[in-house]
Amino acid sequence: MNEAISPPQLTVRAVLLAVVLAVILAAANTYLGLFAGLTIASAIPAAVVSMAVLRMLGGG
């Protein structure tokens, strides 16, 4: 049986992008929470931004 080789799901580039986005979105969410008294769920914006960044970097 011939199995296709799948790309790795966890890469250094993905981890670095996740850390950078977590810091940026946490800071923005904290500022918004302290300034306006409301916060946002940052999972969806993080997913959209990460897909755009990875596409610009040639990740798919």
Collapse the DSSP code of 22 into the 3-class scheme (helix H, G, I; strand E, B; otherwise coil) and give the result.
helix
- Give the integer Cα–Cα distance in Å for 3 and 18: 30
Percent of the chain with pLDDT over 90: 25
- Give the integer Cα–Cα distance in Å for 21 and 12: 14
Kindly indicate the confidence band of residue 39, based on its pLDDT and cuts at 50, 70 and 90: confident
pTM of the predicted model over 0.75: no
Compute CA distances 22 → 34, 49, 60, whole Å: 18, 11, 22
Q: What is the pLDDT of residues 5-22, one digit of tens each?
A: 888 888 898 899 889 999
- Give the integer Cα–Cα distance in Å for 57 and 37: 36
